[in-house]
Amino acid sequence: MGIKRFPEADLHCHTTASDGLLTPYELIKAASEIGLKAVGITDHDTVSGWSESIKAGKEFGVEILKGIELNTEWQGTEVHILGYEPDQESKQFQDKLRELREARMKRMLKILDRLHNMKIDISVSEIKAIAKGESVGRPHIAQALIQHGYAKSIKDAFTQYIGAKAPAYVPRFKLAPKEGINLIREAGGVAVLAHPGQHDLGKFIQIWVNEGLQGVEVSHSDHTPEEERQYREISRKFHLIMTGGSDFHGEGRKMGVKLGGWGVSYDVVEQIRDLTICLRK
């Protein structure tokens, strides 16, 4: 890949609590088998995978960094914000997550209605069975389209039916990056910009730093070596924590993205924990 990887910690992983294919237990077991010291559980809009992950972590000797991924939007572009170690007991935090999950469900129902108008009937119960967790997303609908024979792959399902500009596309509930950052910070967590290379977000990072951003995901499965260097330099300029992770969902959901294939050394986990301690003093 051109840049040495540090597979001690993969801080961007998804489980069946949102749109991953492995349960929290299965993911942590797999992490232990490849020698990871720490894993970040960063499901979309839910913390329901934390408890099982922590139990599995104790069993397999893998440290768990509790996290979440929030989908926000900036000037028509998706911006994902990772939050590490927010206080699960924060009422404001939990209320907003509930609101986001409800918005996801409403969006799913609208997408299913549009598919129905296209003579494609997929039930809510099917989607919930595929999702398994409480956070429902378009990848679950894509999986249903594949099972019904309407698409050959996740990418095909998005292109033909549910991706932007496709006939059954429905815009998401729009949370601004500042709102996502504030939600995480107010819950005592560390706010990190996820995979900025996906949408060339480097020029906006200073804006979000001024709004409380504390880190940038430098190592990521979608980043080229040149992008890694670019975001490393930006992180140094603004004194941001440099995180990293594979964005693992499971081979069937994100082809070629392997657990631990991207990540950071263990000292980044310590940096995040130290910062949360400082924030809560």
CATH code of the domain covering residue 130: 1.10.150.650
Query: Would strands 215-220 and 77-84 be described as parallel, antiparallel, or unpaired?
Result: unpaired
Instruction: Tell whether 213 is covered by a domain.
Output: no
Percentage of the chain exceeding pLDDT 90: 85
Instruction: Judge whether 190 and 241 are in contact, CB under 8 Å.
Output: yes
Instruction: Tell whether 186 is covered by a domain.
Output: no
Instruction: Judge whether 79 and 179 are in contact, CB under 8 Å.
Output: no
- Domain ranges, residue 158: 97-162
Per-residue pLDDT band at 254 (split at 50, 70, 90): confident
> Is the model's pLDDT at 24 over the cut of 60?
yes
Per-residue pLDDT band at 268 (split at 50, 70, 90): very high
Instruction: Tell whether 67 is covered by a domain.
Output: no
Number of structural domains the chain divides into: 1
Predicted TM-score (pTM) of the model is 0.89
**pLDDT for res 21:** 92
Q: Which pLDDT tens digit goes with each residue over 219-249?
A: 999 999 999 999 999 999 999 999 999 999 9
Instruction: Tell whether 17 is covered by a domain.
Output: no
Quick one: which of 63, 131, 70 has its CA closest to 99?
70
The whole-angstrom separation of Cα 134 and Cα 148 is 23
The whole-angstrom separation of Cα 267 and Cα 9 is 9
Instruction: Tell whether 153 is covered by a domain.
Output: yes
**pLDDT for res 2:** 41
Instruction: Tell whether 136 is covered by a domain.
Output: yes
Instruction: Judge whether 202 and 177 are in contact, CB under 8 Å.
Output: no
Q: Which pLDDT tens digit goes with each residue over 159-177?
A: 999 999 999 999 888 899 9
Instruction: Tell whether 116 is covered by a domain.
Output: yes
